[in-house]
Structure 1
Amino acid sequence: MAVVETVLARVPAPLRSLLVRHRELLKFAVVGSTTFVVDNGVWYLLKLTVLDTKPTTAKAIAIIVATIASYVLNREWSFRTRGGRERAHEATLFFLVSGVAIAINLVPLYTSRYVLDLEVPHVSLLVQEVADFTSGSIIGMLLAMAFRFWGFRRWVFPDELGHHRRDTTAEEPARSG
């Protein structure tokens, strides 16, 4: 039994039907949570060491690393029953949508640091770090996540290309049984 089925078996029936109905969004959120940890781990590692004077550059690099992990996880798990394009075409679209999402993610951090001047020496180090986290990892990430979910479903893994994939997956247990 897969992990998802094990978890769903323990959820009360009314909530289970809601989760099943929105399983793509739920899987996308799990992937997002995982890449959130990757993104922030890389960002703070870079920001507190080699890129301490360039937080936006550090954030951009962290987002790129997390985006690569996101592609693999979304392709193989979240949207595995969608899509159907040639892999190179699909990857190109994924990274184009993600590139726009990176820009969306960086706007709040850039605004916080360079428009609102929420950086040392204008504010304390604590205020700077709280503003960076709030703008770069909360506001920016939420805006980018909404755009990515919409863009991935619309262009990268469209449902109309996934019908064959779902039909083939549904037939496999019947063939082996």
Structure 2
Amino acid sequence: MRELLKKHRELLRFAVVGGISFVITMSVNYGLKFTVLRTHPVTALIVGVLVATIFSYVANREWSFRTRGGRERAHEAALFFLFSGVALGLNALPQWFSRYVLHLQPPRLSPFGVEVADFVSGIIIGTLLGTAFRWWAFKKWVFPEEDGRPRAVPAEAAEDPDIHDSKAA
């Protein structure tokens, strides 16, 4: 089991960051949707995703993909936010489709029915689409090189190859 976890460490970390980002998205989305953006649910979702994306960049760069690199930081950040923008569109598309093509909104649905439709389309389906796209794009384009950013090694470990090897494992 330990080998499996070690082998998929990057994916697991990406999933943890995604889980925290999901909570941020939901909190901001519903906070806005039930207060100042009552008549603009897609906008509330987009704002929630944007706030979570800023957190996600820092967490993914410094934790999930901390040893990956290959790009200058400004170029990396630009690509991250470009692909996150595409993912934002993918995230919002199912809710937009649900609301404005399928007309799953008042008066056709009750308030509870609208919330269920928005949750399934925007939060579940949209998040799955956006997450799958981000995983592919970040590994392929944003953080393309494995071991592109070696982890910092304490000074005493840098002088002793045995310590360095055990810390890197």
AA aligned opposite 2:149: R
User: 1:174 aligned to 141, 157, 167, which one?
Assistant: 157
AA aligned opposite 1:165: R
5+ residue gaps, structure 1, are 1-14
Residue number in structure 2 paired with 1:165: 149
Q: Summarize deviations over 1:74-121 as a string: whole Å, max 9, x none.
A: 000000000132111110000000000000001100011111111111
Q: Does 1:54 align with 2:40?
A: yes
Relative to the length of structure 2, the TM-score reads 0.89
Q: Does 1:72 align with 2:58?
A: yes
User: 1:98 aligned to 70, 84, 89, which one?
Assistant: 84
Residue number in structure 2 paired with 1:11: none
What is the rounded CA distance, in whole Å, between the counterparts of 2:132 and 2:48 in structure 1?
A: 19
Residues paired across the two proteins, number = 160
CA contact (8 A) 2:98 2:117 kept: yes
What is the rounded CA distance, in whole Å, between the counterparts of 1:97 and 1:58 in structure 2?
A: 20
| Alpha-carbon distance, 1:43 to partner | 0.3
Relative to the length of structure 1, the TM-score reads 0.85
What is the rounded CA distance, in whole Å, between the counterparts of 2:156 and 2:113 in structure 1?
A: 56
Which structure carries more helix by proportion?
1
Change in 2 beyond 3 A, CA 1:58/1:150: same
What is the rounded CA distance, in whole Å, between the counterparts of 2:113 and 2:92 in structure 1?
A: 18
5+ residue gaps, structure 2, are 161-169
User: 1:31 aligned to 12, 17, 41, which one?
Assistant: 17
AA aligned opposite 1:87: R
Q: Secondary structure at the match of 1:123?
A: coil
CA contact (8 A) 2:69 2:148 kept: no
Residue number in structure 2 paired with 1:143: 129
Alignment of structure 1 residues 116-135 onto 2, 5 Å? 116-135=102-121
Range that drifts further, 111-120 or 69-78: 111-120
